[in-house]
Amino acid sequence: MRRILVLILVVFSFHGLSRAEGNDTVAIRQFAEYGDATAIENVRPVKNIVIMIGDGMGFEAITAARIHSFGRGVGLALDRMPVTGQNLSYSLSEDIITDSAASGTALACGVKTLNGRIAQDRHAARLKTILELAGELGKSTGLVATSKVNHATPASFASHVKSRNNYWEIARQMSRAPLDVLLGGGYGYFLPGSHPESFRDDELDLLGEMRSRGASVTMDPGQLGNLDPDRVKALVGLFARDDLDRTARSAVNLSEMTGTALKILSRNPRGFFMMVEGSQIDWAGHGHDLEYSVGETLEFDRAVGVVLSFAEKHGETLVIVTADHETGGLSLNKASEKDKTLTAGWTTGSHTANVVPVFAYGPNAEAFGAVIHNHHIPQLAVQGWGVKNFTGFAYGK
């Protein structure tokens, strides 16, 4: 009987592949490197775009945070977003389960790539990022993360390297990118090698270079709340030598960094682009730590609330919230509303192929209420900027 079942499964699998091969449109849409998102009908103009990424945040992590806080109720900032879709995050690697670099590149550049690549295609050709596009359009730009800023996801928006592990080159490129705000951890990668806290093996003083170009540079989280945004031309705040550990997080949090970034970026009458990453939801998944996951998801959700409040007040702002992938294979197996306890199961210590959420608010938000590939997200977003060939390919194919 077991042999018969296996044979049936194999025949079914190959039958499915043959059907895909017989339909070029399906095959192209499933595996295309370059975008084929269709044009938005009656596209409305967008001034600002904010992409918020919960690293490793699947539907289950959001559900756990919601039950923890509200039991059977709703009340997350995410619950205020009127449009919900699904994000297919597959990479072009033989193992299609993506890492943060390939997915970050798709979300930044509108092009799928191999795992490990940062804003490069599968042939290691440089790709334009949505942040660079914003700079070309005269808009302000910002990156905010709770990891080191040269980690895979934020790196994908402001650098171009073949390997995500080349943190030193990523930092060098980021220091020279068209960035008006850069907030997170990782100052050890920006200090010259002779500095006792540096990770570099050269004498490049990247913080000094940014300061010489007019940026206010700080490694003191206490200074963040005391800044006068109207007197800051550009802001670089790196509040930990490496990632923002719990000590650093007690002094500065994601919603505070996000709010400060918004104050600076929104001064530009042409608008802005900002990416905000809740980086450590992923780490909680890798470690099978439900309490950590809930805490990080709620911190990310508070940052979502800050951005939504801005968008509701100012308009012309498209807010997109998604994840680069799901981590851990989280399942919620038991939940008590009375004492708000949760029992979780995990299927892996790595990433999964689970579909992840997309939430949207603002002009053209309805375009994201579908099952879409991750590389479609920036393609759809920039149509509100009047850009119809972001990846060099026409829409509506």
User: Which residues carry out catalysis?
Assistant: 100
**Residue 158 neighbours by CB under 8 Å, 6+ apart:** 129, 131, 132, 143, 173, 174, 177, 179
Q: Which of 327, 344, 326, 347 is nearest to 335 (CA)?
A: 344
Distance between CA atoms of residues 386 and 371, nearest Å:
23
Q: How many CA atoms lie within 13 A of 102 on its CB side?
A: 22
Backbone angles phi, psi at 336, to 5 degrees: -115, 120
Question: Which amino acid belongs to residue 121?
Answer: D
- The residue written with tokens 């299609």 in the block is 96
SS3 percent helix, strand, coil of the chain, rounded to 5, is 40, 20, 40
Beta strands in the chain (DSSP E): 48-54, 83-88, 140-148, 181-185, 215-218, 234-238, 272-278, 317-322, 326-327, 331-336, 341-345, 351-352, 356-361, 371-373
For 356-380, b where at least 16 C-beta lie within 10 A, e where not — what string? bbbbbbbbbbebbeeebbbbbbbbb
Distances (CA, A) of 251 to 17, 54, 294, 313: 53, 21, 20, 28
Cross-strand bridge partners of residue 374: none
- Per DSSP, helices labelled H in 275-349 are 281-286, 290-314
**Helix (H), strand (E) at residue 106:** helix 100-109
